[in-house]
Amino acid sequence: MSTHEYYVDGDPIADTKAPDGPINERWERRRFTGRLVNPSNRRKLRVIVVGTGLAGASAAATLGELGYRVSNYCFQDSPRRAHSIAAQGGINAAKNYRNDGDSVYRLFYDTVKGGDFRSRESNVHRLAEVSTEIIDQCVAQGVPFAREYGGLLDNRSFGGAQVSRTFYARGQTGQQLLLGAYQALERQVAAGTVELHTRHEMLELVVVEGRARGIVVRDLVTGEVTTEIGDAVVLATGGYGNVFFLSTNAKGCNVTASWRAHRQGAYFANPCYTQIHPTCIPQSGEHQSKLTLMSESLRNDGRVWVPKAHGDDRAPADIPEDERDYYLERRYPAFGNLVPRDIASRAAKAVCDEGRGVGPGGLGVYLDFADAIGRLGEDAVKAKYGNLFDMYERITGENPYERPMRIYPAVHYTMGGLWVDYDLQSNIPGLFVTGEANFSDHGANRLGASALMQGLSDGYFVLPNTISDYLADGPFEAVPEGHEAVDAARKAVDDRIAFFLGNDGDRTVDSFHRELGKIMWEYCGMERTDEGLRKAIGLIRDLKDEFYKRVKVTGKAAELNQELEKAGRVADFFELGELMCIDALHRTESCGGHFRAESQTQDGEALRDDEHFSYVAAWEFAESEPVLHKESLEFEYVKPTQRSYK
Amino acid sequence: MKLRLRIWRQAGAEDKGKMVPYVIDGISEDASFLEMLDVLNEQLIAEGEDPVAFDHDCREGICGACSLMIDGQAHGPQGATTTCQLHMRQYSDGDTIDIEPWRAGAFPVVKDLVVDRSSFDRIIQAGGYISAPTGTAPDAHAVPVPKPDADAAFSAAACIGCGACVAACPNGSGMLFMAAKVAHLGLMPQGQPERHTRVLGMVAAHDEAGFGGCTNTGECSAACPKEIGLDVIGRLNADFRKAATRAA
Ligand SMILES: Cc1cc2nc3c(=O)[nH]c(=O)nc-3n(C[C@H](O)[C@H](O)[C@H](O)COP(=O)(O)OP(=O)(O)OC[C@H]3O[C@@H](n4cnc5c(N)ncnc54)[C@H](O)[C@@H]3O)c2cc1C
Ligand code: FES
C-alpha cells in the first residue's frame, strides 16, 4: 500500500564532508583538510552551546580551552544535573586492555552490525578510533573508574559484546563521566572563557541569511525572554524518548530545541528509530511518572525466565526448574541472556503477549540472580550490583536477593535526531548537533555503553576539530537589532507563551502528554504495523487539536512556571510524534529497534530490506506534508548480513 | 490512602511565604513521593490554583535535583534515599506530612519548594577539578591507582550535590559537599598537583557564598542520601591546615 499520502519526496542528499580513502585514515584526513582558526582570532568568535550533558559540557569546556567565547545553556539549576548523570552501566572503548581480541576495527564492526546496517561507516569508525582517547581524558580528570587490585582499570562485557571493553564506575558511570566534564566546564567558567546560563530554556533557533546565528531563550526563574547571537550554535540537547511520556529518561528531557531547529529547516533523520530497553522496572499504576532502568549489566549474571504455563501465578520460588522457560537461552543459545536490546525486548513482549508474563497485568518477566548468588556468593553480587538492587527494593518493596526481579521493556534512547554531516553540522550552516540529539552513529539500534562514548567523542574530540572549518569564515557580520529574522523568532516565542496562558482550557498538560504517550507506545513502540501507524497518525492529529482547544496552563509568564515549560514541550512532542509515525509507516522493513510486523523471518526475527531501505530518512519540515530526503548508505567494509545471535 | 499535607507556598524570592494545608485522597502506596505531589498538582490545576513548584528531574536518585524537607528531615524518613526514591508505602492512611524547601542562608528560596543552589557550582569553580585540558592526557594505564584509593575516591565522588547536608546542618554549612570533592580528587594521584590550591580556593568560595561553619554535629552525613561519611571532613581539615601553613 502506498504511504505517499503522508509525505512528499525530495531530492536525495549526500554527506559532502565525508572523506574517502581507507577508512582508518579518514578522520585524520578530515582533520588535516579542515581549516583552522588562528588562536588569536578564537576569542573573537562566540559559540552558543545548548546543553550541559556529556555532549554539551565536554564541547563547551573544550571550546573554552581552545579560546573561543562560549555561552552554555541548560534548563536544570546546575549543569551537573543533565540527564547524562543517570547513565549506569558503562562506556565502551577499544583499549583491548583485556587482550581478548578487541580492536578499533572490532568495535567499529560490532557497532555497524549492532546498528543493523543503518549507520555510516565513516562516522562509526571515527567513533571507535576516538574511544580510546576518551578513557585517557576521563582518567586524567580524575574520573574514579572501577579498578582491579593491581591498580589498573577493570572492564566488563556489556549487552551484545563478546569482548570486555566496557569501563565503568560502579553503577554510576554516567554520573562520574558527567562530573568530570562538569568540573572541566566549571574550570572554564572560572577562567572566563565560558559563560554559563542555568535554568534557561532555548525556545527558538535564529537563522539569519541561511546561517544559524543564535537562539531565543527564556529565563525560567524570571520568565524574561532574550535573543542571544553568536557565530555558531551547537545543540547538545539530548534525546526525545519522553514523547512516550513513560520512559527511562529524566522528566525534563524534551525535543523542543531540536524541533524548533527542525521547523527552521534542519532535517530530522530517522525519527522512528527508538530503543526499547529490555530491563526496566514494570509500571505499577496510573500515577506512574517515569520508568526506572535496571542496568543491562545485570544480564551478565541474571537469567531471564517466565513460567512455561500460561497464567501460572505461583510465587517464583514455587515454580520448579523444569516448569520455567529461560526463553532467551532457549532461543539464542550463542548469546543467551546477552542478546542485543531490541531482541531481548521483543522476546519479552512475545512471552507476555502469550499470557506468560508475571506481576501486575502480566507485563513482566523474571530476572533471576539465584544462580549467580549460588555461584559467586551474595557478597560478590552485592559488590557488583548493590546499588541497583537497593534501588529496585526501594521502588518495588521487594528484595531481589530473595526473589527474582520483575522487569519489562521501556523506551530508553532515541537513535534518530537532527541530521548532521561528518562534521556534525546540520544542513543549516552553523548549526552543529552532538550527542543523543543527532542521528549519526548508532543506526537503527544502539549498543549498550555506546551513547556515553558518542557523547564524549562528539564533545571532546570531534566537534572542537570540525567546527573550526566553519568558524574559519567568521566572525560573521553583526546581526542588527530589529533584524527581521530575529524579530520573527522572538515573536514566535512570545506568541506561544501568550497563547498557552490565555487559553481557556480545562485539561492539564500532563493528561495530554500521558494520552499521547499511550498512543505512541501502542502503535509506534516495540511492534509497528501499517494499520496501527495510520490509526496513530489520526489519533495524534485529533488529540493535538484537542490540546490546543482544551489545555489549561496556570500562572504567569514572568515567573517560574513549570506548567508553561511543560506545555511548550508537549506541543512539540505532538508534531514529533506524528513525524515518527510517518517515518515508521514509510519504512516497511524491520531494522534494529524498528520492527514492522509485516517484515519478519519465519521464526519471528526482524527482516531488513536492504534493496529498498539502505538509506537515512532525513525529513524536511513543511506546514503540509513533510519532505523526505534520502541519504543512501554505502557499506565498503562491513557487508550487510542478516543479524544472527543464535 | 488519604493524607493531610502542609506545604510551604512562596510566590517568589521576595514573598514571605507560609504553610498551606491540603487534603489528598486515593494515593497508592506504590506511588513515589513526587508522584503524590504530581497528583496534588493535577488536582490544584483542575481547581484553577497554582500548582506547587518543586525541583526534580531524573526521579531515580542520581541527579540531585529533588530537595524537600519532609517532616523536618531532608529527603524524608528513609535512610540513604532521595525524595524522588521515597515511596508512599512509608506512610499510612491519615498521616499528616509537612513539606518545606531546603532552609539555608546560601540557598535562597526561588518559589515554593524550589531553592537556588548555584553556590555549590561556585565552590566547584573555585578549584573542584583537575586541570587536564582535552587532548593532553597520557594513556589511562600510565598511572595505576591502588584499588582501595580508587574505591574511596569513588565513594566520595558519589555525592549528587543535592544540598541535603546543608539543609540538615544547624549552621547551614556546605562542609560535607565541599569535603567530598576535596577527598575524591585528593585520593587520586592525578589530583595531587593542585591539592593545596584546591582546598584553599574552595574553602574561600564556600565562606563567601554564605554557608555556615562546621561544628561537627554530623547531621550532614546522617541526612546524605549517598551516605558520604564524616571522614571526608577530616581529610579536608588536614589538607587545609597543610595548605594554609604552606601559604603562610
Ligand atoms: C537511565 C539511563 C541509563 C543509561 N545508561 C547508559 C550507559 O550505561 N551507557 C551508555 O552509553 N548510555 C547510557 N544511557 C544513554 C545516555 O545516558 C544518553 O544517551 C546520553 O547521556 C545523552 O547525553 P547528551 O549529552 O546527548 O544529552 P543529555 O545528557 O540529555 O543533556 C541534554 C542537555 O540539554 C539541555 N537542554 C535540553 N533541551 C534544552 C533546551 N530547550 N534549552 C536549554 N537546554 C536544553 C539539558 O538541560 C541538558 O543539559 C542511559 C540512559 C538512561 C536514560
Ligand atoms: S529527581 Fe533526581 S535525585 Fe531526585
Q: Could you tell me if residue A107 is inside a domain?
A: no
| Angle, vertex CA A263, rays to CA A257 and CA A266, nearest 5 | 80
Q: How far is B15 from chain A (nearest CA, A)?
A: 13
Same domain, A285 and A408: yes
> Which domains are seen in chain B, by residue range?
3-110 (3.10.20.30), 117-131+145-247 (1.10.1060.10)
Candidates B49, B52, B62, partner chain A, best to mutate (most A CBs within 10 A): B62
Considering the entire predicted model, what is its pTM?
Answer: 0.98
The order of strands in the sheet holding B96-100 is B18-24, B3-9, B96-100, B69-70, B73-74
- What confidence tens digit (pLDDT) does each residue in A446-481 have? 998 999 999 999 999 999 999 999 999 999 999 998
Same domain, A615 and A488: yes
* Contact state of A141 with B30 under an 8 Å Cβ cutoff: no
Q: Could you tell me if residue A132 is inside a domain?
A: no
- Residues A105 and A142 sit within 8 Å (Cβ to Cβ): no
Sign of the dihedral through C-alpha A610, A615, A621, A627: negative
Same domain, A518 and A599: yes
- What confidence tens digit (pLDDT) does each residue in B97-133 have? 999 999 999 999 999 999 999 999 999 999 999 999 9
Q: Is the CB of B195 under 6 A from ligand 2?
A: no
**Other beta carbons within 10 Å of A636:** 10
- The whole-angstrom separation of Cα B218 and Cα B69 is 17
Q: What would the mean pLDDT of A505-533 be, rounded to a whole number?
A: 97
Lowest mean pLDDT among A323-327, A331-335, A339-343, A615-619: A339-343
Same domain, A374 and A498: no
Measure CB to CB from residue B129 to each of A172, A175, A184 and give the nearest one: A184
Same domain, A492 and A572: yes
Candidates A76, A280, A290, A406, partner chain B, best to mutate (most B CBs within 10 A): A290
pLDDT at A386 (0 to 100): 85
- What confidence tens digit (pLDDT) does each residue in A13-62 have? 999 899 999 999 999 999 999 999 999 999 999 999 999 999 999 999 99
pLDDT at A160 exceeding the cut of 70:
no
Count up the domains in chain A and report the number: 2
- Interface ipTM above 0.90: yes
Residue-wise DSSP of A320-348 = -GGGEE-HHHHH-TTTGGGS-HHHHHHHH
Q: What would the mean pLDDT of A289-308 be, rounded to a whole number?
A: 93
Q: What would the mean pLDDT of A607-636 be, rounded to a whole number?
A: 97
Q: Could you tell me if residue A611 is inside a domain?
A: yes
- What confidence tens digit (pLDDT) does each residue in A208-244 have? 999 999 999 999 999 999 999 999 999 999 999 999 9
- Judged by DSSP in three states, A573 sits in helix
Q: What would the mean pLDDT of A157-183 be, rounded to a whole number?
A: 91
CATH of residue A381: 3.90.700.10
Sign of the dihedral through C-alpha B169, B175, B179, B182: positive
- Residue A204 β-bridge partners: A216
Q: What would the mean pLDDT of A571-575 be, rounded to a whole number?
A: 98
- What confidence tens digit (pLDDT) does each residue in B162-195 have? 999 999 999 999 999 999 999 999 999 999 999 9
* Contact state of B62 with A139 under an 8 Å Cβ cutoff: no
- What confidence tens digit (pLDDT) does each residue in B127-163 have? 999 999 999 999 999 999 999 999 999 999 999 999 9
Final residue before a domain boundary, out of A390, A412, A434:
A412
pLDDT at A464 (0 to 100): 98
- Judged by DSSP in three states, A297 sits in helix
Containing structural domain, residue A580: 484-620
Same domain, A402 and A519: no
Same domain, A612 and A532: yes
pLDDT at A384 (0 to 100): 82
- The whole-angstrom separation of Cα A225 and Cα B178 is 34
Same domain, A385 and A292: yes
Lowest mean pLDDT among A51-65, A89-103, A160-174, A421-435: A160-174
- What confidence tens digit (pLDDT) does each residue in A88-98 have? 889 999 999 99
Q: What would the mean pLDDT of B2-28 be, rounded to a whole number?
A: 97
CATH of residue A575: 1.20.58.100
Measure CB to CB from residue A285 to each of B28, B121, B184 and give the nearest one: B28
Same domain, A301 and A389: yes
- The whole-angstrom separation of Cα A178 and Cα A195 is 18
Catalytic residue list contains A81: no
Q: Could you tell me if residue A636 is inside a domain?
A: no
pLDDT band at A295 (very low <50, low <70, confident <90, very high): confident
The ligand placed nearest to the CA atom of residue A261 is 1
Final residue before a domain boundary, out of A386, A412, A438:
A412
CB-based contact, B47 to chain A, within 8 Å = no
Closest CA to A572 of A527, A629, A621: A621
Q: Could you tell me if residue A36 is inside a domain?
A: no
Ligand 1 pocket, Cβ-based, cut-off 6 angstroms: A 50-56, 73-76, 82-84, 86-91, 173-174, 201-202, 236-239, 248-249, 253-254, 256-257, 293, 412-413, 435-437, 449-452, 455
Closest ligand 2 atom to Cα of B83: 4
Q: What does the mean pLDDT of chain A come to?
A: 96
pLDDT band at A177 (very low <50, low <70, confident <90, very high): very high
Q: Is the CB of B122 under 6 A from ligand 2?
A: no
pLDDT at A173 (0 to 100): 95
